[in-house]
């Protein structure tokens, strides 16, 4: 289902409008800089992953985009204008810290948030009923929130974020606290919204979700941007690695930066882990082996995971980011 939906995703292009633009944004709290001179753009359409360790400044950045916080320096544009609540219905937001009015029913909650964003009562009611049905909560529509399980309450909150069918959906750590089944439901919803033309920005420090969903990524550490681009571009940040089985030492081959023999070879064959030089490719190395008659029994390339990319790019910064900032 995920792959099918991904095929229908609207393509992004540089010519498209940017739904979110940050230009030199800094946010400081007493003696502490949460976001430091951050600039990036999110093009309209697709799914944008906002990655970083706990305390990297993701939540602060998203709060500034929603005008909950004001930047100390720099400018922000959301949907072509300064942050504010003028077009509240065009933005849906699922905060990391979730909570609902315990005495309100499921239906009342979703309608209330729809109306707070400017929807007429009838439209909010119709949209709320559709979403409640979609999330399998129809039989609990008139149940008070305080009597719901945590998972159901999280679905209600997601419905409240989606009730206006927003053009821009901002999800702050949306998978946190969800069980695998509900994580899957949420992934489906994210992909559905993207398919319907919405731009989805979600922050996470769990790279697997970003790997499955995101078209583009922004990686920040200590409030500063360390990477922005596609997943392939992100992987390109890591030196290519491969493993091969050969009779001879491949260290002297063109493009090989580093070769380490592994245990387990037999009959004169040795297993090697190869790190390529910057700019070198696995295909070029294979071509060289063929051309010079370098005997090979196996040749296997390794695709870097986002987790490895993350550790590579942000690893040095993470030591000081153990405590998350809530501001």
The footprint of other proteins (CB under 8 A) covers 63, 66-70, 85, 88, 91, 93, 95, 97-104, 112-113, 115-118, 157, 160-161, 326-327
Are 175 and 206 in contact, with CB atoms under 8 Å apart? Answer: yes
Are 201 and 48 in contact, with CB atoms under 8 Å apart? Answer: yes
CB of residue 93 to other proteins, shortest distance in Å: 4
d(CA 92, CA 59): 15
Q: With respect to other proteins, which residue has the nearer C-beta, 90 or 308?
A: 90
CB of residue 68 to other proteins, shortest distance in Å: 5
Are 183 and 205 in contact, with CB atoms under 8 Å apart? Answer: no
Q: With respect to other proteins, which residue has the nearer C-beta, 93 or 310?
A: 93
Place of tokens 């994210």: 190
CB of residue 91 to other proteins, shortest distance in Å: 7
Q: Which two tokens stand for residue 138?
A: 């129809």
CB of residue 44 to other proteins, shortest distance in Å: 20
Q: With respect to other proteins, which residue has the nearer C-beta, 203 or 245?
A: 203
CB of residue 125 to other proteins, shortest distance in Å: 14
d(CA 168, CA 157): 16
Q: With respect to other proteins, which residue has the nearer C-beta, 291 or 326?
A: 326
d(CA 320, CA 221): 10
Long-range pairs of 230-238 with CB within 8 A, sequence gap ≥ 24: 231/306, 234/306, 234/309, 235/303, 235/304, 235/306, 235/309, 237/309, 237/312, 237/313, 238/304, 238/308, 238/309, 238/312
Q: Phi, psi (5° rounding) for residue 167?
A: -80, -30
CB of residue 327 to other proteins, shortest distance in Å: 7
Q: With respect to other proteins, which residue has the nearer C-beta, 19 or 309?
A: 19
Place of tokens 């005997």: 295
Q: With respect to other proteins, which residue has the nearer C-beta, 100 or 314?
A: 100
CB of residue 185 to other proteins, shortest distance in Å: 19
Q: Which helix (H) or strand (E) holds 92?
A: strand 91-94
DSSP assignment of 197-234 equals: T-EEEEEES-HHHHHHH-SEEEEEETTEEEEEEEHHHH
Q: With respect to other proteins, which residue has the nearer C-beta, 90 or 215?
A: 90
């Amino acid at each position: 289902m995920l792959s099918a939906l991904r095929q229908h995703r609207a393509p992004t292009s540089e010519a498209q409008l940017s739904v979110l633009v940050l230009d030199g944004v800094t946010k400081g709290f007493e003696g502490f800089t949460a976001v430091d001179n951050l600039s990036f753009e999110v093009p309209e359409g697709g799914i944008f992953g906002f990655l970083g360790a706990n305390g990297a400044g993701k939540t602060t950045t998203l709060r500034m985009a929603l005008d909950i916080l004001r930047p100390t320096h720099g400018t922000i544009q959301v949907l072509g204008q300064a942050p504010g609540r003028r077009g509240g219905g065009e933005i849906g937001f699922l905060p990391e810290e979730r909570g609902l009015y315990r005495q309100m029913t499921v239906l009342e909650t979703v309608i209330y948030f729809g109306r707070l964003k400017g929807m007429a009562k009838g439209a909010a009611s119709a949209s709320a009923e559709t979403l409640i049905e979609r999330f399998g909560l129809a039989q609990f529509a008139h149940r008070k929130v305080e009597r719901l399980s945590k998972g159901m309450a999280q679905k209600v909150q997601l419905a409240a974020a989606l009730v206006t069918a927003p053009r821009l959906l901002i999800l702050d750590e949306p998978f946190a606290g969800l069980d695998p089944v509900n994580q899957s439901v949420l992934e489906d919803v994210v992909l559905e919204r993207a398919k319907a033309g919405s731009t989805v920005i979600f922050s996470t420090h769990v790279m697997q979700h970003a790997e499955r969903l995101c078209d583009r990524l922004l990686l920040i550490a200590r409030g500063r941007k360390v990477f922005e681009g596609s997943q392939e571009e992100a992987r390109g940040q890591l030196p290519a690695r491969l493993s091969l089985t050969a009779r001879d030492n491949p260290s002297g081959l063109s493009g090989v930066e580093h070769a380490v023999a592994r245990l387990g070879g037999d009959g004169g064959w040795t297993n090697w882990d190869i790190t390529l030089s910057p700019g070198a490719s696995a295909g070029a190395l294979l071509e060289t082996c063929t051309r010079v008659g370098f005997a090979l029994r196996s040749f296997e390339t390794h695709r870097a995971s986002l987790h490895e990319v993350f550790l590579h790019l942000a690893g040095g910064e993470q030591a000081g980011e153990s405590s998350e900032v809530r501001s």
